[in-house]
Amino acid sequence: MEKQFLIDDLKLGESWRLFKIMGEFVEGVEGLHDLGSAVSIFGSARTRPDDPQYKKAQAIAALFVKNGFGVITGGGGGIMEAANKGATEAGGTSVGLNIRLPFEQKPNPYATIQMEFNYFFIRKVMFIKYAAAYVVMPGGFGTMDELFEVMTLVQTRRIRPFPIIMVGSDYWGGLLEWVHSQLLAQSLISPTDMDIIQVLDDPEEIVATVRKVLVV
């Protein structure tokens, strides 16, 4: 009998979790519904303010704002902080979609719209739903996760194609060489799948590439 009570309690807990999930979706959509054209910028939370990549992310975000785009980040430190800072200082909309983690992730003070999520998958939906493009700076597992997930969604036509720009040919070069020498060489992906992404270094060229697809 006690075992059955435990099973029933677990089922009830799972059912109530569905309402929490629904609630986060509703909060996300309501909070970002009027955002307008925006670009999601990703990168390491560990990048320091004196790092050239931090300064480049800040410059890219400011340039997007000057061209009529808002900026969305994961709301934490490093590259995310740099992008939010660049957008805010340029007078634009600066969104931080923070995730509750037991370590590393703390909201940065530069986002003009701050939201917090318990669930990674809901946060990912918000990144994609409100993005006109993905700009992916150097980063770790979390950055790779965002990059490959959106590539897969475009590849499988689950979402509309949009610019996915990997910033830094030196940083991403080795990964792309492996993709060509292993995945493409073994026909694990199609040659046209490589058209999903672009590797660029110059902030002006990055913004111009996005503007070709969506002029705001």
Q: pLDDT value at position 5?
A: 41
For 176-200, the pLDDT digits (tens) are: 999 999 999 999 999 999 999 999 9
What class, spelled out in words, does domain 37-213 have in CATH? alpha beta
Q: pLDDT value at position 11?
A: 59
| Confidence band, pLDDT 50/70/90 cuts, at residue 10 | low
Q: pLDDT value at position 18?
A: 86
For 41-91, the pLDDT digits (tens) are: 999 999 999 999 999 999 999 999 999 999 999 999 999 999 999 999 999
Q: pLDDT value at position 16?
A: 81
- In this structure, is the dihedral angle defined by the CA atoms of residues 165, 171, 173 and 178, taken in order, positive or negative? negative
| Confidence band, pLDDT 50/70/90 cuts, at residue 34 | very high
Strands 164-167 and 197-200: parallel
pLDDT at 131 over 50: yes
| Confidence band, pLDDT 50/70/90 cuts, at residue 215 | low
For the chain, the average pLDDT equals: 92
Query: Hey, what are 109's tokens?
Result: 């003070």
Residue 96 has phi, psi (to 5 degrees) of: -120, 115
How far is residue 166's CA from residue 134's CA, in Å, rounded to a whole number?
Answer: 8
Report the Cα–Cα distance between both ends of the chain, in Å, rounded: 63
Q: pLDDT value at position 6?
A: 43
User: DSSP letter at 105?
Assistant: -
What residue ranges do the domains of the chain occupy?
37-213
**Cβ atoms of 99 and 105 closer than 8 Å:** yes
Give the rounded percent of residues in the chain with a pLDDT score beyond 90.
84
Residue 14 has phi, psi (to 5 degrees) of: -65, -40
Strands (E), the chain: 38-42, 70-73, 94-99, 113-117, 133-136, 164-167, 197-200
Indicate the burial class of 19 (C-beta count within 10 angstroms; 0-12, 13-18, 19 or more).
Answer: exposed
For 95-112, the pLDDT digits (tens) are: 999 988 776 568 899 999
pLDDT at 7 over 90: no
Give the rounded percent of residues in the chain with a pLDDT score beyond 70.
92
Q: For residue 32, give every residue at least 6 positions away whose Cβ sits within 8 Å of its Cβ, in sequence order, or none.
A: 95, 113, 115, 126, 129, 130
How far is residue 176's CA from residue 163's CA, in Å, rounded to a whole number?
Answer: 17
User: DSSP letter at 18?
Assistant: H
Q: What interhelical angle do 79-89 and 52-66 show, nearest 10?
A: 40
